Homo-oligomer: A and B are copies of this chain.
Amino acid sequence: MGKIIPIDVLGECGHPSPFKANYPKFFTDDNGVVRLVHTLDYAPGASADDIEYFQRAGARERLFFRPEETTVGIVTCGGLCPGLNGVIRAATFCAVEGYGVKKVLGFRYGYQGLAEDETYPPLELIPDEIDEIHEKGGTVLKSSRGPQDSGRMAETLRRRGVNVLIVIGGDGTLRGARDLQAELKARGLPIAVVCVPKTIDNDIGVIERSFGFETAVQQASEVITRAHAEAKSIRHGVGLVKLMGRESGWIAASASVANSNVNFCLIPEVPFGLEGPGCFFEHLRRRLESKDHAVVVVAEGAGQDLMAAAGGEDRSGNRRLADIGPFLKDRAEAWFRRAGVEVNIKYFDPSYAIRSTPANAADSEYCLRLGYNAVHAGMAGKTGLVLGLHNDRLVHLPIALTAERKLVDPQGWLWQMVLQATRQPVCMLGKAGPSPAAPQNH
């Protein structure tokens, strides 16, 4: 019979949904239709009782909030990601056109706008005025980094009469949403906090694919094509491309597989050495001597152990990384100089140019779905939840479940594809190095 992972609710749903008239059979039931989690694999001896399920996202037949009295707020936090405007637009359309809510407020500059409401008053979002924002990159609500005081944010929501707050942001933002939910509860304010997870790195636990990721991989692949052209046009040419991925190598690995012109892919999950025998530079040299050029893709979080710690954290509380791109370039140039071997490295750092593009079709579709379902969840009084695609369906996850980061499994199919597409060595740690990371459950 299994177990459905529960989602917090503000109270009983006493109001009929106005969607009912138009879409009679579209409602999703909290209990009737759910999804299992973690337990896809055949487990001899397992009982059906052990299976865990997620609650499925979707419009509910009965609502906690009375639409015509409801105000929805939206806020975007952290760095850019393709599709932000698509989520904003979809949530606004669903709330106004679908439910007929009273008002949709767009808080500006991320949590800062929620905390400093007098300085940065919110915009009212009107469907007709934002009808084409999804065709542009960036976020019309603007963003900022870093946490803000939960009390001040709660106070703004109360004063502005917000009933449902849709928060679009990454893991720091989700932590902030959890604190805010707690604060609201402590104050007895029945305000729903619904999160749309945003990570261009695609590394939020449990969630199959985050919006903007496929667009980023497409853009990254196009940059790799250019790096390939540079590398092939000079003797011992190296096209070195740094891609996003602070803790995980999803973009780097996927783009390397998609492009198929990459010779070395370096990611945080797979340690490597630079200068010793059996290490990266030796393999790079061999490649240059046999093929005259190489394309190297490195995730920004790769090889952090090789550099002196940069120290500190940024305003979002993210560990500040040392910059692996210029570091690799300098070290390689020095190593090849000592070895008396010519090398010509062209360095590409396309991160801003990638993250500021509009969403491609697949992500646009996904963003529309996320925006609509965030409003559906909020209108039903669900709170403290994250929307996510899991086994190809959209589900409700408790915020806490998404805290774990999703990593590229060095034993999994993606890294296997990378090794086959690049033909790079399984291990570039040299003789004394440790063996590759242990398999992860992926």
Contacts and interface: CB of A to CB of B under 8 A. Distances in A.
Contacts of A46: 1, 48
Contacts of A356: 226-227, 229-230, 233
Copies of this chain in its oligomeric complex: 4
A98 to B, nearest CB: 6
A327 interface: no
Contacts of A426: 22-23
A36 B45 contact: no
A109 interface: yes
Interface string A383-413: 0000000011110000000000000000101
A230 B138 contact: yes
A42 B47 contact: no
A42 B4 CA distance: 9
Interface residues of A, number: 98
A142 B392 contact: no
The listed residue with most B CB atoms (<10 A of its CB), out of A89, A419, A421, is A421
Chain A interface helix/strand/loop/mixed:
mixed
A7 interface: no
Interface stretch (A8-16, A178-186, A254-262, A267-275): A254-262
Nearest to A139: B233
B48 A208 contact: no
Nearest to A54: B42
Given A41-B33, A413-B394, A416-B26, A259 B361 contact: yes
A307 interface: no
Interface in A95-119: 97-98, 109, 112
A38 to B, nearest CB: 13
Nearest to A217: B361
Contact of A391 (B26, B32, B259, B392): B392
A362 B362 contact: yes
Interface string A207-250: 01000001001101101011101101111010000000000000
Interface string A76-95: 00001000100001000110
A42 B98 CA distance: 29
A230 to B, nearest CB: 5
Interface of A: 1-2, 4, 22-23, 25-26, 32-36, 40-48, 51, 53, 58-59, 80, 84, 89, 93-94, 97-98, 109, 112, 134, 136-140, 142-144, 208, 214, 217-218, 220-221, 223, 225-227, 229-230, 232-235, 237, 254-255, 257-260, 292, 346-350, 352-353, 356-357, 360-362, 364-365, 368-369, 372, 391-394, 411, 413, 416-417, 419-421, 423, 426, 439
